[in-house]
A and B are shown apart, each in its own frame.
Chain A
Amino acid sequence: MLQFILRRVAYSIVTLFILSATIFLIVRLTGDPVALMAEASARPEDLERIRHQWGLDRSWPVQYVTFMQNAFKGELGKSFNYRLPVSELYFQRLPNSLTLGFAATLISVLIGVPAGIISAVKVNSAWDNVAKGVALLGLSIPGFWLGLVLILVFSVWLRWLPTSGSGDWRHVVMPALALGWYFAASMLRLTRSSMLEVLGSEYIKLARLKGLPDVVVIAMHAFKNALIPVFTLAGVNLVVMVNAAVIIEVIFAWPGIGRLLYEGIFQRDFPLVQGVVIMAGFMIVAINLVVDVLYAVIDPRIRLTR
């Protein structure tokens, strides 16, 4: 078990190393940040001074090593635009992204899990077809367009909800729905196939043979095992949603890390962009590691086969 964990951790570190090196290189290969940062009329010696000030006159390997050393200390560099440490900006915004991510996860679970269970229990019924239709629409409707349509309906026409910003729960409803919609469809699909698999297994057949009522079989026996992969996906989705909500946050002016990235891109604030992107990779590598290890704890076959 320990060996398994150590190997997974080593893989994760290699993954993070490649990821950070890729991002670091792309940022530096695609243009001179100082030229973009300074005014067009700046003199060459001024550019040189700025470069020295930000440490950009050193060779790339040196810059990379410094960057990684700082990253280990929790420092992601200093934002060009805000003149503040990137980590400070990041952690200011992170709680908002977490709020939105939790709300969206809640919505995706509340829609996806019951619909998936009904559709698996009543397989090939009208309910099942409705659920399949919802799943298909979930994958086909672009989340950001759904967001715009929600604004149109609930803010402009009905005037029930505020269009943007943050504050109380009414600000969260629409962005969470627009963000969670796509993930609700994936939850529905997984719940359905997972339930179908469990319902076809021997122990469920036995439970039915014993004469247990359907409700007990589904609620007590099937449900429990079928939902392990479903809630794993919900956890992974939460982390993805916290990091990938860029467009939704832009549309609803939600002050999360997605909008921080967006602002960084338009202000050509490359330490900020680099930091936010690397943090996204870090969080996802971390959750994947946690899931892998937890699964190995639950199921010994996993740690033996690899």
Chain B
Amino acid sequence: MATIATDRTLPRRRAAGRTRAVLEALREAPLAAVIILGALVLVAILADVIAPHDPTVPVKGANVFDPPFWMEGGSVTTPLGTDFQGRDILSRLIHGARVSLIVGLMGTLVAGSIGTAMGIVAGYVGGWADQIIMRVTDAWLALPAIVFAIFLAAMIGPSMWNIVVILGAVYWTRYARVIRGEVLTLREREFVKLAEIAGASKLRVIRRHILPNVMNTATVLASLTVGVVIIAEASLSFLGVGVPPPQPAWGLMLSEARPTLMAGQWWLTVFPGFCILLIVLATQLFGDWLRVKLDPQLRNL
């Protein structure tokens, strides 16, 4: 594994310069990933405007289980067909993008914030704080993420925001472990030592010197977690412990499609799954690119 020295001691750029740098960097990002993600974000934001029908109410005049428009019996008013209640699949998919993106991004944000904070405390404060945080991390990592999430969701009850909290609670441990490792080496670096000798408080050292230097790693981890969280949400919704009906979540749509699979009504199963595949693929591509861009040391992770 190549270890390329990254210059972490550069003076921090001002906010405006930073935004421009981010935009510059995005231009080199994989085109497919940026287009897919951009389109999905737009669709999620504009869901109310572009969805042809209300996603939770049956379409007037449509039957249940109408096929897509190119098949016999399909109609252009419901281009991708209707579900078991006669609701428009396309509209549900469009609104489902919103659920997936909110849960994916917010869940990652919760996990990343808790994990980064815990990792910094464990690594920088050390001692008992370190012992306690790392032992809890070990214990929580011992459960397969999906089993832990199902367990928590079953105990706490289904709602979209509960799922955000639950997935945050499940996935923070991954961040804590990696960030702690980074902080352990940062702690020994000269600029941290000098700040301490100059009399900076622990809080100030963390805010000014530690946090900015672990942000790259945290960002890379976050970009790779979004897809995992989206699949986890879909899995929970599929099992009936995630986003409750009649909300249009892709995992829930797959679960509602299950009884029709035997009848060969494939569109109910194929479309929502394909949406999940697309969004996760795009976040993975984007995350891989970001990993190489921001932190060469993580290339083999």
- With A136-B285, A156-B261: A30-B147 Cβ-Cβ less than 8 Å: no
| Whole-angstrom distance between the Cβ of A101 and the nearest chain B Cβ | 12
| Whole-angstrom distance between the Cβ of B250 and the nearest chain A Cβ | 9
Check if A152 is an interface residue, CB within 8 A of chain B.
yes
Interface string of B145-159 (1 = CB under 8 A from A): 111101110111000
Check if B108 is an interface residue, CB within 8 A of chain A.
no
A277–B149 CA distance with the chains assembled, in angstroms: 11
Do A145 and B277 have beta carbons less than 8 Å apart? yes
Do A277 and B285 have beta carbons less than 8 Å apart? no
- Residues of chain A from 15 to 46 with CB closer than 8 A to chain B in the complex: 15-16, 18-19, 22-23, 26-27, 30-31
Set of chain A residues within 8 Å of B154, measured between Cβ atoms:
265, 273
Do A139 and B143 have beta carbons less than 8 Å apart? no
Closest to B263 in A: A156
A163–B281 CA distance with the chains assembled, in angstroms: 28
- With A23-B151, A139-B284, A140-B277: A262-B239 Cβ-Cβ less than 8 Å: yes
- With A142-B234, A163-B262, A247-B238: A284-B142 Cβ-Cβ less than 8 Å: yes
Closest to A264 in B: B154
Closest to A240 in B: B144
Check if A250 is an interface residue, CB within 8 A of chain B.
yes
**Stretch of B21-29, B176-184, B268-276 on the interface side:** B268-276
A247–B258 CA distance with the chains assembled, in angstroms: 13
Do A19 and B261 have beta carbons less than 8 Å apart? no
- Residues of chain B from 229 to 259 with CB closer than 8 A to chain A in the complex: 231, 234-235, 238-241, 254, 257-258
Interface string of B101-144 (1 = CB under 8 A from A): 00000000000000000000000000000000001101110111
Check if A107 is an interface residue, CB within 8 A of chain B.
no
Do A15 and B143 have beta carbons less than 8 Å apart? no
Which listed residue (A11, A148, A246) contacts B239, Cβ 8 A? Answer: A246
- With A140-B284, A142-B234, A284-B142: A265-B135 Cβ-Cβ less than 8 Å: no
Closest to B240 in A: A266
Do B147 and A277 have beta carbons less than 8 Å apart? yes
Set of chain B residues within 8 Å of A31, measured between Cβ atoms:
155
Closest to A132 in B: B288
A139–B142 CA distance with the chains assembled, in angstroms: 21
- With A19-B142, A152-B266, A157-B264: A27-B277 Cβ-Cβ less than 8 Å: no
Check if A280 is an interface residue, CB within 8 A of chain B.
yes
- Place the interface of chain A in its size category: 35 or more
Do B143 and A284 have beta carbons less than 8 Å apart? yes
Do A22 and B277 have beta carbons less than 8 Å apart? no
Check if B5 is an interface residue, CB within 8 A of chain A.
no
Do A243 and B147 have beta carbons less than 8 Å apart? yes
Do B264 and A18 have beta carbons less than 8 Å apart? no
| Whole-angstrom distance between the Cβ of A306 and the nearest chain B Cβ | 13
- Residues of chain A from 230 to 266 with CB closer than 8 A to chain B in the complex: 240, 243-244, 246-247, 250-251, 261-262, 265-266
Check if B280 is an interface residue, CB within 8 A of chain A.
yes
Do A18 and B239 have beta carbons less than 8 Å apart? no
Check if B81 is an interface residue, CB within 8 A of chain A.
no
Check if B227 is an interface residue, CB within 8 A of chain A.
yes
Do B273 and A148 have beta carbons less than 8 Å apart? yes
Check if B1 is an interface residue, CB within 8 A of chain A.
yes
Do B269 and A141 have beta carbons less than 8 Å apart? no
Which listed residue (A136, A157, A280) contacts B284, Cβ 8 A? Answer: A136
Check if B6 is an interface residue, CB within 8 A of chain A.
no
Set of chain A residues within 8 Å of B147, measured between Cβ atoms:
243-244, 246, 261, 277, 280
A163–B231 CA distance with the chains assembled, in angstroms: 23
A244–B146 CA distance with the chains assembled, in angstroms: 7
Set of chain B residues within 8 Å of A14, measured between Cβ atoms:
135, 138
- With A15-B138, A136-B284, A145-B273: A243-B156 Cβ-Cβ less than 8 Å: no
Which listed residue (A163, A265, A284) contacts B144, Cβ 8 A? Answer: A284
- With A136-B284, A142-B276, A244-B144: A148-B155 Cβ-Cβ less than 8 Å: no
Q: Point out residues on B near A: beta carbons under 8 Å.
A: 1, 135-136, 138-140, 142-148, 150-152, 154-156, 227, 231, 234-235, 238-241, 254, 257-258, 261-262, 264, 266, 269-270, 273, 276-277, 280-281, 284-285, 288, 300
Jot down 14 A-B pairs with beta carbons below 8 A, ordered by A.
A11-B135, A22-B136, A136-B285, A136-B288, A137-B281, A142-B277, A149-B270, A152-B269, A244-B146, A246-B146, A247-B239, A261-B150, A265-B241, A277-B148
Q: Point out residues on A near B: beta carbons under 8 Å.
A: 11, 14-16, 18-19, 22-23, 26-27, 30-31, 136-137, 139-142, 144-145, 148-149, 151-152, 156-157, 163, 193, 197, 240, 243-244, 246-247, 250-251, 261-262, 265-266, 273, 277, 280-281, 284-285, 288
